[in-house]
Each structure stands twice: as structure tokens, then as C-alpha cells.
Amino acid sequence: MSRPPSPRLPLIGGVLAALGASLCCIGPLVLVLLGVGGAWVGNLARLEPFRPYFLAAAALALYFAWRRLHSPAACSPGAVCASPRVGRLYKALFWLVALIVLFAFVFPYLAPLFY
């Protein structure tokens, strides 16, 4: 019997893509708030042209994770995928990752409020 695909890999991909998309904006703000400064912090702004690609990758990863979470999976009784606890955990992680990606989408519009 084939094992249904786990949504773990798309969720991890979504988090990494959201972090990559937010490096240009959130990274310098967090470093300044922590008291870390210097001219090198401005170099993080060089990642700004890649932000749309990272956000697209995050949205695509979330789409695949959502598809795997809500597809009817054929699990044998007693398998890990048949556990409702595991399903709830993955759904909670999905929504957490979706909030992180949403924050990466809207942060550049909110950033002027913090500077």
C-alpha cells in the first residue's frame, strides 16, 4: 500500500521562502531592535529584487501543503497518517506558516510605521 504524501516538506518550503522574502525588510529591523548596527545591515536590502520570487515560492508551497492536507488520504488503520492528532498538528502548523507568509507579504507596507 502506498503511503500518502506528507505535508511536511511543503510547509518547510513555505517557511524558508517566507524567511527569504522577509530578509530585506524584517532582517534589518530586527537587528536594529536588538541593538546590532553597522553599514553591513544595509547590504540586506540587495535581496529586495528577489522578494517577489520568494513570495511566489511560499504561496506555491502553501498551495501544495493545503492540497496534501485536504486530500482524501487512504491510510491503513493504525498508521501514523490515520491519527487525528497528527492531522490536527499539521493543520495547526499549516495555519502558522500561512500567518508567517502573510506577514512577509504585508510587512513592507507596515515597515514605515516602525522606522
Q: Along the 115 residues of the chain, how does pLDDT read in single tens digits?
A: 455 566 677 777 777 777 777 666 666 667 777 777 766 666 666 767 777 887 888 888 888 888 877 776 656 666 666 677 877 888 888 888 888 888 878 877 877 776 6
Count how many domains the chain has.
1
Give a yes or no: residue 27 inside a domain: yes
Give a yes or no: residue 67 inside a domain: yes
d(CA 14, CA 55): 9
Give a yes or no: residue 44 inside a domain: yes
Indicate yes or no: pTM above 0.85.
no
Domain that holds residue 94: 8-113
Burial class of residue 85 in the structure, from the number of CB atoms within 10 Å of its CB (0-12 exposed, 13-18 middle, 19+ buried):
exposed
Query: Measuring CA to CA, which residue among 20, 16, 50, 32 is closest to residue 111?
Result: 32
Give a yes or no: residue 3 inside a domain: no
Give a yes or no: residue 62 inside a domain: yes
Give a yes or no: residue 82 inside a domain: yes
